[in-house]
Every structure is written in C-alpha cells, then in structure tokens.
C-alpha cells in the first residue's frame, strides 16, 4: 500500500470517528449504532 493511500485511509477513519463521536446517544441509537462500535465501524469504512 502506498503512502498516499495509507494517509487517505487514516483521514477517512479519523473523519468517521469524529463525525459519529459528535452525535448524541439518541442519534446513534436511531441509526442502530452503539457508541462502543464507532471505531470498528470506522475501520470498516476504509475497507470498502
């Protein structure tokens, strides 16, 4: 994996974690997301 791709994946991971982390527990619940699952969902977002 090249450096640019690694950096872009890291940025996408951080952006996902940040955006989901800013949501209220109610908003996350409405989406069916548990707060403890945010990091694993962010990892999954870069695997796509």
Share the mean pLDDT of the chain.
94
**Per-residue confidence band for 47, with pLDDT thresholds at 50, 70 and 90:** confident
Supply the pTM of this predicted model: 0.85
Q: State pLDDT tens for residues 27-41.
A: 999 999 999 999 999
More confident residue, 9 or 47: 9
Retrieve residue 23's tokens.
Answer: 């949501």
pLDDT(2) > 70: yes
Which residues have CB under 8 Å from 33's CB, separation 6+?
Answer: 20, 41
pLDDT of residue 1 exceeding 70, the answer is no
């Amino acid at each position: 994996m090249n450096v640019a791709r690694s950096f872009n994946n890291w940025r996408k991971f951080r952006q996902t974690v940040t955006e989901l982390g800013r949501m209220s527990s109610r908003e996350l619940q409405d989406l069916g997301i548990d707060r403890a699952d945010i990091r694993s969902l962010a990892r999954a977002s870069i695997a796509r």
